[in-house]
Amino acid sequence: MRSIQVWVLLLALLLAEPAIAAEYRGKNIDGKRFAGKVYAYETGGVFDVQVEFRKKKAVLYFANGGQQTIRLKRSNITDPKNIVGWGRVGFLSLGGILSVGVADDSSNNTEPPRPRPFEGFWRISLNEADLN
């Protein structure tokens, strides 16, 4: 029984998110939405978005109603025009560095998806005045 408790504790520690808020110039910006643009490295597309920061993550709200959660490279934002993150469409974060793929199996395709260059890399650009 003791070894199960140890394994559960270790698993919880591995999956735990750090309690570090997203910051800009020492100011907590978690939970607030900011208008901005996002560049998708995979497609080269630039999209108007609303961005909400949540610790080491950012939720991108697109004009068409879609949303994408990405993991920030750094929670301390130093350049609001160059906020880099990673998050693949169709993947759900399990915490930490772990994620699981969610696929639509209606096509009966048994082949695993092939990675594409720059897949899942995003760059957010915000107006610095909005963060102050």
What average pLDDT does range 50-79 have in this prediction? Answer: 93
Q: Is 11 helix (H, G, I), strand (E, B) or coil?
A: helix
Residue 129 has pLDDT above 80, yes or no: yes
* Residue 74 domain flag: yes
* Residue 40 domain flag: yes
What average pLDDT does range 15-29 have in this prediction? Answer: 79
Burial per residue of 95-115, b for 16 or more beta-carbon CB atoms within 10 angstroms, e otherwise: eeeebeeeeeeeeeeeeeeee
Domain that holds residue 89: 19-103+116-131
* Residue 62 domain flag: yes
Q: Using a cut of 0.85, tell me whether the model's pTM lies above it.
A: no
Residue range 71-122, pLDDT digits in tens: 999 999 999 999 999 887 654 444 554 444 444 444 555 555 555 556 788 9
Higher pLDDT, 16 or 39: 39
* Residue 97 domain flag: yes
pLDDT at 102: 43
pLDDT at 120: 82
Q: Quick one: pLDDT band at residue 20, thresholds 50, 70, 90?
A: confident
* Residue 5 domain flag: no
Name the nearest CA neighbour of 20 among 73, 75, 72.
75
* Residue 90 domain flag: yes
* Residue 109 domain flag: no
Q: Quick one: pLDDT band at residue 43, thresholds 50, 70, 90?
A: confident
Higher pLDDT, 63 or 102: 63
Q: Quick one: pLDDT band at residue 4, thresholds 50, 70, 90?
A: confident
**Geometric angle at alpha carbon 82, from 80 and 86, rounded to 5°:** 115
What average pLDDT does range 48-74 have in this prediction? Answer: 93
How many domains are contained in the chain?
A: 1
Q: What single-letter amino acid sits at 11?
A: L
- Cα dihedral 62, 86, 69, 23 sign: negative
Higher pLDDT, 65 or 6: 65
* Residue 111 domain flag: no
